[in-house]
Amino acid sequence: MLSVVPVRGDAMVDQFISFASDLYRDDEHWAPPLVSDVRRFMDPKTNPYFDEAEIEHFLAIGPDERVLGRVSASVDPAYVDRFGRTGFFGWFECVDDQEVADALLQTAEEWVRARGMDRLAGPYSYCATQEFGLLVEGFGDRPAVFQPHNPPYYEALLSRAGFARDFHTDTFSWLAERDEKAMERLVRRGEKVVAEFGLTVRDLDPARWDSEIDLVQELLAASFAENHDMVPISKPVLHFQLGELRELIDPRLTRFVEYNGKTVAFSMLAADGNELLREAGGELTESFLARYEELKAAIRGTVVLMIGVRPEYEGLGIGRVLIGEIAKIPLGGIGAYRDVHTTWIHEHNWQSRSYLAQAGSAPARTYAVYGKGLAP
């Protein structure tokens, strides 16, 4: 008999984590995350987001005691206060079996309904400032870090479970060998704005890491104040999430823009950790660690994590400056990096889509978020 049970204890946490690797064992595009990283992210003792939201994890167990799927359910009070009574599901992985998918999703529905929610949306792992979205187009390419990966059949599982698409996002790639002239044009446009307004552009200072991340949080809160699907990320959560990524955050890939001595914008990119994860296979083995520095130095890809501009300064053309700085990467301006990948660009984010079109970039992977109203 199929059962869905809450995750309790280290052994079940191990099952929750390892199920994805079992499911994707033969998928050439899968880059298994480090088990130690996933453990910290799921642990209320280490992840401060658990102090801000209520979260539960579930496993679907078959009659032979084999794990057939997993899901998380979460309720973020700050999100509910701002946008209404919507709970989230995430970490969704499932065999191609509608009965299993229905059981997992119904469990998440019941869990959020019991906490006063009238809608379930996802996948969000655990919220909109973390990894989210279901891959629906672009299965033929390897994802960069923070670009979720899943089998094509997931979309049908959600649809048959009564979920409808809320919105979609796209990821884009700027590739050195394809977009050189467009990159040069974007760099010149950014430099023109810098000269016109006397702006200063600087790298992240690793010696002041904590205060620099505080500044990022301040800029994010200002620039996303009117975002339709996101609440400001708190300082503890941002410090935790970026601390987990610190090895991949090359200071040269984060740029702050200053105007009259005030920091008014930033862009933060990370080295594409998936190039390392594919070599690691989910574990920090001795052989991997022996090659780590060599592998890290050879990373070619970068991923845009965040861009933020104080709204009152958008009229200066700050966006052109940030895009121009990013465009230097494919031109060989920063170490061995040559390619730029984005994370999620919302379907209604016309400004970013315009910049990307000017760079000669087209959508590479499409992700969708799904929602379902819950009966009382």
Task: For the chain, give every domain's residue range.
Answer: 3-168+369-373, 173-365
The residue-averaged pLDDT of 255-282 equals: 88
With respect to CATH, is domain 3-168+369-373 assigned 3.30.70.660?
no
The residue-averaged pLDDT of 72-94 equals: 96
Question: How many Cα neighbours within 13 Å face the side chain of 234?
Answer: 14
Higher per-residue pLDDT: 178 or 299: 299
* CATH number for the domain formed by residue range(s) 173-365: 3.40.630.30
Question: How many Cα neighbours within 13 Å face the side chain of 140?
Answer: 1
Q: What percent of the chain has pLDDT over 70?
A: 97
Instruction: Note the pLDDT tens digit of each residue in 89-124.
Output: 999 999 999 999 999 999 999 999 999 999 999 999
138, 221, 247, 255 from 17: Cα distances, Å: 25, 32, 22, 35
Residue 361 above 90 pLDDT? Answer: no
- Give CA–CA dist 272/8, Å, rounded: 33
Residue 179 above 70 pLDDT? Answer: no
- Phi (first) and psi of residue 3, to 5 degrees: -140, 150
Task: Supply the mean pLDDT for the chain.
Answer: 91
60, 104, 152 from 22: Cα distances, Å: 14, 18, 17
- Give CA–CA dist 101/110, Å, rounded: 14
- Give CA–CA dist 133/148, Å, rounded: 7
Q: What percent of the chain has pLDDT over 90?
A: 65
CATH topology identical between 3-168+369-373 and 173-365: yes
pLDDT of residue 276: 80
